[in-house]
Structure 1
Amino acid sequence: MKKLYFLAIAAIVALTVVFFPQNEKSAEPRNGALEALQFLSDLQTYPSGKIPEQAQYAAWQQARRMPVSAENFRNTDPWESMGPHNRGGRMLSTTFNPLNPQTLYAGSASGGLWRSYTAGEGALAWERVVTGFPVLGVSCIAFPPNDSMTIFIGTGEVYNHLAAGTGAAYRSTRGSVGIGILRSLDGGQTWEKSLDFSMDQEEGIWDIVVAPSDPQVVYAATTNGVFKSTDGGDSWDWVLDVPMATDLVVYPTDADKVLVACGNFESPGYGLYRTGNGGQFWHKVISNGLPSTYRGKGQLGMAPSNPDIVYASFGDGFTTAEGASWLCRSTDFGQTWQLRNTTDYSKWQGWFAHDVAVDPQNPDKIVVIGIDVWTSSDGGLTLTQTSVGGTGFSNPPPQGPDGVINYVHSDVHDVNWHPTEPDVLFVCSDGGIHRSDDGGFTFASRNGGLQTVQFYNGFSTSPNNPQFCLGGLQDNNTIVWNGDLTWTRIGGGDGSWTAIHPDDDNTFFISSQYLNVRRTTNGGNNFTSMVIPGNSPTAFIAPYVISPANGDVMYAGTALVARTANGGDNWVASNGGNALDGNPVLSMDASWQDDGVVYVATAPYNGNRGHVFRTDNNGVTWPNITGDLPDRFPMDIAVHPLDDRIAFVAFSGYGTGHVYRTEDAGYTWEDISEGLPDVPTNAVIVDPLYPSNIYVGNDIGVFASVDNGATWINYSEGLTDAVMVFDLKISADRKLRIASHGSGAFQRDLLEVVWTSANEIDAEAWQLNVWPNPAKAGGTLNVSFQNPSPGKVGLRISDASGRTVYQQAATPFAEGNQELNLTLPDLPKGIYTLSLETEKGTFGQRIAVF
């Protein structure tokens, strides 16, 4: 056996970016999950193809040491949840507390560990478990049989690993990085490392089993093989080095008898392995009842009532075409096998989403999952599809249901029978958690409070209405927020970029993968598809923007940039119909003052680095302004609202600066990321009222600078453990909003300067609110405040020199909430101060005019 002290995989591979296919639409179902995970993998590892040792963990440790407040700025309340609480994102596992099955634990793909004390029942059933570590993906959860205080969790969502080899382009298919196995000895209150993978965070854990006959013996199926502990997780031995171990079962009365499934994407040595001596020797199982070759993964299910009976599920598909599935059964704990069924239940997700579980009392009664849920009462000889996927209800209540009586979101990852209640089982899918009370024939969602949806870039918030925003999700369409914790689904597929008309909230745009854009002009009641000219390659999550200066002008990117001047009715290719550099456009932003000024950035592709371009003539020409920017994925661009010569670019990857600023339209760039954690950075935004205030979102949280990037603070208070922040927006009422990949949406007050004048009173007590902010010159401005007692109130707007540019004389106002609506004069763009002048003093707020 090989004693584990640290793991280091030194494989060097050539990076092949694979998430930019041709524009032509496929008639077959496309494997969006594969493309989405490859997209994330490439963002993290380009150009080396590998995550540096301890990179994410070291960055998280650095973030914990950073200051959390800025001098001369008000301390703000922590981040508050925006939901959604009525729909879940991709969930990987569930496990019952062995002594109280009403307590249910669940692992998400990139939103951490969750717990429910009501077995998922209710509108607020779930809470996130704080581990004190940067835990994102939780693939498995395990307890000793009679111990509710000891908990093991496996971290990371890794379907392929560099050391495994593939013989194909799928060099690394990963959702979120892991740090190994964590253990709690006090029921989840505190956690510690058990099996430490933080040196090589490309590793992942897929299964943990505590031996029923000896709780000191623990086995773990990992991307690097099988590990075993004989001291309850204090130390581990590496007992099988076949890569991509995905599932294992341990004989209940003999901790030395283990059966494990290894392999994914045809990794070396894939197949079933069996040991009878605790891992000292392993025998690869060869049987006519097993598939001779397959390209996906294997999953195992042991019959609790007769542990000699074991089922194995194998998948083959991982492209746009359907593959094959094999359901096999053994009656001698894996020595010999019989092929029971070849119904293709896993289809194109043979590498990703399928499993089998056996009824606790009846070894012939099984549930098989893949794209959908299937049941059998004769040991798998016949399989009946019992669930339907597709589209659920548009606005389900948090307590469910979220679809018809047998609805389960497609791509089902885990199935778990209740230990004491007959016919009760739970399944995990890309749409959260569902419960069945009749053995898998009907289902109801159990997603109340399970905030795990995965937003992509391209989140939008209305510049006029603080309670309207929308964003695209992994495999969960586009969803709309209207002010509460429930969100409404619109659109289909993987939701992608969105955009809201700057002057009309009823007109907005949604999209799905590869720039399939649709427009509504009636608040979402009807949508029209846009016909946008483009060239291959196109990014999986492809960008488009509406010009804030002119809501009829839009830009959209494939390998070239298309432009419309009539709200999307007609599009033309810019740049003379030529691609910018042959690479796919990945990010863009438009000037707030001039609808002809746009910045775009392309992603690396086929060995060619990405670039940044700017047009100031409506796309007639696009000068390359890349300069000395780093060779990484340019994830986001932010144009300063008051000066389009100033722009920011955020970069993914490791080992370089992550945020760059230009003040001369791209002629020169300055790295302003010194002091920021070195992790993939996905979003950047500048506060228009305080132009020196910059916010960035990365794979572990939110960070802010109040001195133009010279120093940074950790602005993540209220976010648990680590949160993958994919986009940042500022709302009409000056809330900073984040769209995260795995933890839903949050909002928090922006940093505001502390007022110091002796005659200025506490604005917070008056609850002054101004929107939209920034505001258009000549446009409408709304002002609300809470008047503590009857009295006269006046209003004044002053420019930076103190000169009054607008004034309303003091008039009587009653006690309570008051609202004013005024039309701004045609002011020059800039920062102004709006002041309320009351009988008790004066207080105010900055506003930006563009």
Structure 2
Amino acid sequence: MKNRTLLLGLMFLFLSFIGINSVNAQTNDQWISLGPNNISGRSRAVIFDRFNNNIIYSGGVAGGLFISVNNGKNWQEITLGDGQQNLAITSIAQDNNGVIYLGTGEGNYKRNGFGINSDVIGMLGNGVYKSTTLNETNKNWASNLATDQEKYDWATQNISFQLLDFTKPTTPYSYGDGKAFVNKIAVNKATNKVYVATDAGLMLINNDATNWTAVSAIPATATVGDVCISNNGNIAVYFTDSEGKIAISSDDFTANSIILNSANITTFDANALSINRIRLAFGINNPNKLYAYVNYLIEDEEGYRSYEEILIRTDDINNVTWRRTTPTSYSNGGDPASMSIVVDDRTTPEIVYLGGNYVRKGYDANNSDIYYWESISQYSNSFGSTDGVRTSPSYVSKGIHELLIKDNATTSFDSTI
């Protein structure tokens, strides 16, 4: 068994299993809200500090940046400097030197599959922030601090950020400027290169963070919705130009290939019209295995349009064959703005977690391409329930934007799966 913590966005929730405060006799699952509380905006971004135990960073799309030094028991705000010019934190990443990057601007709420909808336009961003005090010299800053208060004091007094001027949108406060929406930041641990997925192409920050360049393999006019990098440096990018596509590269985009487009989805559903969003995940032990959680638009014979979801996978990105992993009846809410995935292939069988309205857990139960799926959370009362779902140990608010697993957990507070 591996110890690990599983975190979710929208709010942070802690999943504990039998032997650790388990109260649900049927499923042995219990969810505990970790906060931050009383702060506006959805939590779309969360990371564990790679170099300091029990440190978590959380970003809200309208609430700013927060830090917890005790696995989410409580939180304090970290100001971004420059007069807190932007609070729309949409992505957080940490490089091999301990430097933290923050992306701003909620592009995933800018459009939906039925056209522009002014009711769901997300908050504008103003570029990428970079930590100025977290770096190679003090990336293990919490190791010599004994108490939570000492850690909070150090963090709030010493952690600071600067806005990288070259990442600012060309036209301030314009929804038409793609740089106002940073959808994902990802670090290639094999090369320490930092990629930024924007609504105006995929950008690569140079080594000294004084400029960035567009990755030429991805169209500069494309909306890049996700960039995912495996432990060995494989890079998968979901982008949309004329249609939704996935590009793959194993050499920092010296070369790349398109391994999925809309035609691949129509092989699984003939009614598919277009791809709305894709979330990507590589295996941990098998970094050549790629999962794609796809939300797409369909139109039936009567002309009625609706969202559908499918999880597909290829067992080898060097020899791509897409396989359906969810049944045709699968649904997790259908909202393209609320999708998340994390894979743990350190277990046998491997487990895939999908977020949306629920947290669903899937695994190969009978040597089949289609995995067995079960819900391990709920957001509404079960039929006949008198307890009230918000007091239920399986309650999780719907709209789960992020799932995250911590490797090599060491404390009893971390869950065991």
The question of a shared fold, defined as TM-score above 0.5 by the shorter chain, is answered with yes
Q: What does residue 121 of structure 2 align with?
A: none
Asked if 1:649 is matched to 2:241, the reply is: no
Asked if 1:455 is matched to 2:27, the reply is: no
Q: Residues of 1 paired with 2:159 and 2:190: CA distance?
A: 26
**Within 5 A, what are the aligned runs for 1:466-481?**
466-481=53-68
- Pick one of 291, 310, 330 that aligns with 1:676: 330
Q: Is the 8 A contact 1:532 1:562 kept in 2?
A: no
- Which consecutive unaligned segments of at least 5 residues does structure 2 have? 1-25, 81-85, 106-124, 135-157, 171-176, 266-271, 297-305, 379-392
Q: 1:591 to 1:575 in 2, by over 3 A?
A: same
Q: What does residue 588 of structure 1 align with?
A: 227
What amino acid does structure 1 have at the position aligned with 2:195?
Y
Q: 1:555 to 1:466 in 2, by over 3 A?
A: same
Asked if 1:613 is matched to 2:250, the reply is: no
Q: 1:609 to 1:499 in 2, by over 3 A?
A: same
Q: 1:490 to 1:682 in 2, by over 3 A?
A: farther
What amino acid does structure 2 have at the position aligned with 1:493?
L
How far apart are residue 678 of structure 1 and its match?
Answer: 4.5
Q: 1:636 to 1:481 in 2, by over 3 A?
A: farther
**Within 5 A, what are the aligned runs for 1:487-566?**
487-491=76-80, 492-502=86-96, 504=98, 507-513=99-105, 514=125, 516-523=127-134, 525-530=159-164, 531-532=166-167, 537-538=178-179, 540-550=181-191, 552-558=192-198, 559-564=200-205, 566=207
Q: 1:79 to 1:545 in 2, by over 3 A?
A: same
Larger RCO: 1 or 2 (CA < 8 Å, sep 6+): 2
Q: Residues of 1 paired with 2:224 and 2:402: CA distance?
A: 17
Tell me the SS of whatever aligns to 1:649.
Answer: strand
**Within 5 A, what are the aligned runs for 1:632-711?**
632-652=275-295, 655-665=307-317, 667-674=320-327, 676-680=330-334, 682-690=339-347, 692-698=350-356, 700-707=357-364, 710-711=371-372
How far apart are residue 723 of structure 1 and its match?
Answer: 1.8
How far apart are residue 547 of structure 1 and its match?
Answer: 1.4
How far apart are residue 672 of structure 1 and its match?
Answer: 1.1
Q: Residues of 2 paired with 1:620 and 1:600: CA distance?
A: 14
How far apart are residue 529 of structure 1 and its match?
Answer: 2.6
Tell me the SS of whatever aligns to 2:308.
Answer: coil
Q: Is the 8 A contact 1:685 1:729 kept in 2?
A: yes
Q: Residues of 1 paired with 2:341 and 2:168: CA distance?
A: 29
Q: 1:81 to 1:634 in 2, by over 3 A?
A: same
How far apart are residue 469 of structure 1 and its match?
Answer: 2.0
Q: 1:533 to 1:652 in 2, by over 3 A?
A: same
Q: Deviations 1:684-727 (Å, cap 9, x if unpaired)?
A: 111142261111101x1211113285111111163437421000
Q: Residues of 1 paired with 2:207 and 2:315: CA distance?
A: 31
Q: Residues of 2 paired with 1:661 and 1:571: CA distance?
A: 32
Q: What does residue 217 of structure 1 align with?
A: none
How far apart are residue 584 of structure 1 and its match?
Answer: 0.7
What amino acid does structure 2 have at the position aligned with 1:710?
Y
Q: 1:610 to 1:665 in 2, by over 3 A?
A: same
How far apart are residue 533 of structure 1 and its match?
Answer: 9.5
Q: TM-score, normalised by structure 2?
A: 0.61
Q: Deviations 1:519-565 (Å, cap 9, x if unpaired)?
A: 11424622233334999645734212011334x31111233222245
How far apart are residue 664 of structure 1 and its match?
Answer: 2.2
Q: Deviations 1:35-55 (Å, cap 9, x if unpaired)?
A: xxxxxxxxxxxxxxxxxxxxx
Q: Residues of 1 paired with 2:213 and 2:396: CA distance?
A: 46
How far apart are residue 455 of structure 1 and its match?
Answer: 1.3
Q: Is the 8 A contact 1:495 1:510 kept in 2?
A: yes
Q: Residues of 2 paired with 1:713 and 1:600: CA distance?
A: 28
Q: What does residue 599 of structure 1 align with?
A: 236
**Within 5 A, what are the aligned runs for 1:434-449?**
none
What amino acid does structure 1 have at the position aligned with 2:65?
T
What amino acid does structure 2 have at the position aligned with 1:555?
Y
Q: Residues of 1 paired with 2:180 and 2:91: CA distance?
A: 11
How far apart are residue 648 of structure 1 and its match?
Answer: 1.3
Q: What does residue 93 of structure 1 align with?
A: none
Q: Is the 8 A contact 1:634 1:649 kept in 2?
A: no
Tell me the SS of whatever aligns to 2:260.
Answer: coil
Q: 1:721 to 1:496 in 2, by over 3 A?
A: closer
Runs of 4+ aligned residues of structure 1 deviating over 6 Å after TM superposition are none
Q: Percent identity?
A: 15
Q: Residues of 2 paired with 1:683 and 1:620: CA distance?
A: 29
Q: Residues of 1 paired with 2:352 and 2:96: CA distance?
A: 22
Q: Residues of 2 paired with 1:589 and 1:539: CA distance?
A: 21
How far apart are residue 83 of structure 1 and its match?
Answer: 1.3
Q: Residues of 1 paired with 2:361 and 2:414: CA distance?
A: 12
Q: 1:497 to 1:709 in 2, by over 3 A?
A: farther
Tell me the SS of whatever aligns to 1:657.
Answer: strand
Q: Deviations 1:758-791 (Å, cap 9, x if unpaired)?
A: xxxxxxxxxxxxxxxxxxxxxxxxxxxxxxxxxx
Q: 1:534 to 1:486 in 2, by over 3 A?
A: closer
- Which consecutive unaligned segments of at least 5 residues does structure 1 have? 1-73, 90-452, 736-746, 753-850
Q: What does residue 78 of structure 1 align with?
A: 30
Q: What does residue 219 of structure 2 align with?
A: 579
What amino acid does structure 1 have at the position aligned with 2:181?
F
How far apart are residue 508 of structure 1 and its match?
Answer: 0.9
Q: 1:482 to 1:721 in 2, by over 3 A?
A: closer
Q: Residues of 2 paired with 1:656 and 1:477: CA distance?
A: 32
**Within 5 A, what are the aligned runs for 1:173-252?**
none
Q: Is the 8 A contact 1:462 1:732 kept in 2?
A: no
Q: Is the 8 A contact 2:29 2:394 kept in 1?
A: no
Tell me the SS of whatever aligns to 1:625.
Answer: strand
Q: What does residue 785 of structure 1 align with?
A: none
Q: Residues of 1 paired with 2:354 and 2:61: CA distance?
A: 22
Q: Is the 8 A contact 2:31 2:395 kept in 1?
A: no
CA RMSD of aligned residues (A): 3.2
What amino acid does structure 1 have at the position aligned with 2:399?
M
**Within 5 A, what are the aligned runs for 1:333-352?**
none
Tell me the SS of whatever aligns to 1:543.
Answer: strand
What amino acid does structure 2 have at the position aligned with 1:548?
K
Q: 1:715 to 1:734 in 2, by over 3 A?
A: farther
What amino acid does structure 1 have at the position aligned with 2:288?
R
Tell me the SS of whatever aligns to 1:522.
Answer: coil
Q: 1:703 to 1:617 in 2, by over 3 A?
A: same
Asked if 1:88 is matched to 2:39, the reply is: yes
How far apart are residue 622 of structure 1 and its match?
Answer: 3.2
Q: 1:709 to 1:554 in 2, by over 3 A?
A: farther
Tell me the SS of whatever aligns to 1:695.
Answer: strand
Greater Rg, structure 1 or structure 2?
Answer: 1
Q: 1:539 to 1:625 in 2, by over 3 A?
A: farther
How far apart are residue 734 of structure 1 and its match?
Answer: 4.7
Q: 1:682 to 1:661 in 2, by over 3 A?
A: same
Q: What does residue 728 of structure 1 align with?
A: 403
Tell me the SS of whatever aligns to 2:195.
Answer: strand
Q: Residues of 1 paired with 2:342 and 2:185: CA distance?
A: 17
Q: Is the 8 A contact 2:103 2:184 kept in 1?
A: no
Q: 1:471 to 1:632 in 2, by over 3 A?
A: farther
How far apart are residue 515 of structure 1 and its match?
Answer: 6.7
Q: Deviations 1:91-131 (Å, cap 9, x if unpaired)?
A: xxxxxxxxxxxxxxxxxxxxxxxxxxxxxxxxxxxxxxxxx
Q: 1:525 to 1:672 in 2, by over 3 A?
A: same
